[in-house]
Amino acid sequence: MSGICPELDARLSAELDRYYFSTDGSGLNLDRREKHRVINALHRLWNIEEIACYGVGFATEDIRKVILDLMKPAHIRLALKTVDFNSGAAYSLWLGCAIFMFAKFDEDLQHEIRKGVLSRGYLPLVVAGFLSEVVITEKGRHISQRIKVNLSLKEKTQYDFARIVTHGTARKSYAEGNYFMVPNSVLYMDFSGGEILLYACLLYYEDRRTHTCYPSFREIGERIGMSKNTVMKYLRSLEKRGLVETEQTLIRTKSGEVHNGTLKYHIAPIAPIKKAYDEKELDKLRREAEMRERIAKYERHTGNSVHAENHAENGQM
């Protein structure tokens, strides 16, 4: 195994050699390309810091335990079948997550199938739904799918995977419920009232897993009592400060026409912005202190008052 992917963890490499890619031909019967994809996917999955979905999180050791104790060749085959291959770097990440999903929740899925609640034909939809909800932490970065899976009520009842992940009781985060939180830092920087109001409104709409939202200018204006032009004015200000990034979305009509949709808002972490602001303020205070010191030194050497001289020059004496 080391010849194919030398960076593999020793435990993972031994597991794959013994049960999946053994020389006697048992385990997975994959072609060279599929084998390479699976190895890359499992390598990334092994090193993920966290997989979070529907309010439930799985840390690195939880993920590795699933790989070593629960994963079977059938889970890998199902993942390969249900995750469409593409040449992008993210493919191995989503394939790995699909393998994790099948390995972790196989018994629950089979139980739902036996009860007739879930059809095997809906497994690709289950995977798509899972991958659209999952948030991955890899090397300190939070990664999520940009494409949401929109389902009718009928489809939801036939694949409702959230019940399986949460055992019917999805945990609520502090950001859910009848309130939401605004960082204290907003009130300690030189934001105008309009900027604070718009920022708080975007946090109200924000998806806490992906840190994005899609409200229209009209929705925002109605929510906080601003005109469209005023909303746009304060939005430009928040963008300049680095608090918000916007991305134009597109919508396709039933007739196939493409039009601009609402903006997609990416809410940036406020900590680095607050740090930069504090450093700027400290630099300003240092420069003001240096100026006061130079003025005091000048007055000591000359015996003159700078303020008196300024008043004299302006004809106020």
Going by the DSSP 8-state scheme, the letter that residue 54 receives in this structure is T
Same domain, yes or no, for 25 and 148?
Answer: yes
Question: Residue 78 is part of which domain span?
Answer: 10-166
What is the pLDDT at residue 3?
43
Q: Grade residue 47 by pLDDT with cuts at 50, 70 and 90.
A: very high
What is the pLDDT at residue 2?
42
Q: Grade residue 246 by pLDDT with cuts at 50, 70 and 90.
A: very high
Lookup: tokens for 265: 């808002």
What is the pLDDT at residue 215?
92
Q: Report which listed range, 1-10, 152-161, 251-260, is most confident.
A: 251-260
Write the pLDDT tens digit of every residue in 49-71: 999 887 788 999 999 999 999 99
Q: Grade residue 317 by pLDDT with cuts at 50, 70 and 90.
A: very low
User: What angle do helix axes 73-82 and 123-133 make, rounded to 10 degrees?
Assistant: 80
Helix (H) or strand (E) holding 247: strand 244-252
Same domain, yes or no, for 202 and 83?
Answer: no
Same domain, yes or no, for 35 and 135?
Answer: yes
What is the pLDDT at residue 169?
44
Averaged pLDDT, 135-154: 70
Residue 80 has pLDDT above 70, yes or no: yes
Averaged pLDDT, 256-282: 87
Averaged pLDDT, 131-137: 85
Going by the DSSP 8-state scheme, the letter that residue 170 receives in this structure is P
Averaged pLDDT, 207-215: 88
Averaged pLDDT, 287-305: 82
Indicate the residue type of 229.
N
Same domain, yes or no, for 240 and 283?
Answer: no
Got the DSSP string for 90-102? Answer: THHHHHHHHHHHH
Same domain, yes or no, for 19 and 109?
Answer: yes
Same domain, yes or no, for 233 and 291?
Answer: no
The CATH number given to whatever domain includes residue 257 is 1.10.10.10
Query: Domains in the chain: how many in total?
Result: 3
Same domain, yes or no, for 62 and 125?
Answer: yes
Helix (H) or strand (E) holding 263: strand 258-267
Question: Which residues are CB-neighbours of 2 under 8 A, at least 6 positions away?
Answer: 8, 13
